[in-house]
Amino acid sequence: MKRKKRILVGKVGLDGHDRGAKILARAFRDAGFEVVYSGLHQTPEMIANMAIQEAVDGVGLSLLSGAHNHLFPEVARLIKEKGADNIVIFGGGTIPDKDVAFLKESGISEIFLPGTSLDIIINWADNNL
């Protein structure tokens, strides 16, 4: 039997809006992934530790507060520093187009902008984790 892919849906920083993250977590679960949801107000260190402890294949970060250029790369740095660079990190939220290239250079595999369909995100994760 094929092992289910494990994914951590993470809310990092002071962003208190988690509706989208919960919708995404449910969509991943319904698509056959094992899902861990971090809860709100996590630090990059907490997300990195949770990803490693839960042995996930991928981390999907959700952020609406505008701090993505600091928090997303910090999660990627910590995961790599802890020797888990096999974990694929992707993100989404209210991220301007102009920030996407920087985030990808910082270790984020993909960025999903507002309005991206759940099917596109699920298919990307299924093909890249």
What is the per-residue pLDDT across 8-52, written as a single tens digit (0 to 9) for each?
999 999 888 889 899 999 999 999 999 999 999 999 999 999 999
* Domains in the chain: boundaries: 6-128
User: What CATH architecture is 6-128?
Assistant: 3-Layer(aba) Sandwich (3.40)
pTM over 0.75: yes
Rounded Cα–Cα distance for residues 56 and 31 (Å): 16
Three-class SS state of 27 = helix
In which region does residue 39 sit, left (phi positive, over 0), alpha (psi from -120 to 50) or beta (all else)? left
What is the per-residue pLDDT across 53-67, written as a single tens digit (0 to 9) for each?
999 999 999 998 889
- ∠ CA 66-72-33 to the nearest 5 degrees? 110
